[in-house]
Amino acid sequence: VSNAGVGMAGPLECQSLAAMQSLMDTNFFGLVRLVKEVLPDMKRRRGGHIVVISSIMGLQGIVFNDIYAASKFAVEGFCESLVVQALRFNVANSKDVFASLGQTPEDIAEHTLRVIEAARPPFRHQTNAAYTPMAALKHADPSGTLMTDAFYKLVFKYDAVLRLSLR
């Protein structure tokens, strides 16, 4: 189970390159080091599970979270690229895409356990239904226009609704 992650919020020009590199080292390369360590044995045994706790920001960037979102997009691309190889060796590369809003560590643990115990775990398992509309928009419109427009309106036009929903 990979759950390493640090955040970074604020305008890009206010972030140091060293802090950005440190974040990428934890959020992305931490996962890479873990998979590199466990995958060879899983291939030899022809079985196992790799559960990666990611973020909705791996599917949708959010204003002032540029570097964090980039690290989570990297996680998504890494796992999407690895899944076919992993499945060839009967290793389930399960992505537990989540956001912390409205979720407790116990809730995430319960979802993670369900993925681990599943006979055929899904590639992605979304734990927070609040993000279903955004994820659906991304997949419904490959150009990204629907999702970007909806998210822009949510943040800048209907910000009162957003703040209320976060409570």
Q: What angle do CA 8, 110, 69 make, to 5 degrees?
A: 20
The 3 state secondary structure assigned to 29-87 is HHHHHHHHHHHHHHHHHCCEEEEEECCHHHCCCCCCCHHHHHHHHHHHHHHHHHHHHHH
Q: Is 131 a catalytic residue?
A: no
Q: Which of 68, 131, 152, 158 is catalytic?
A: 68
Rounded distance between C-alpha atoms, residue 133 and residue 130, angstroms: 7
In 10 A of CB 107, how many CB atoms? 14
Q: What positions carry a catalytic annotation?
A: 68
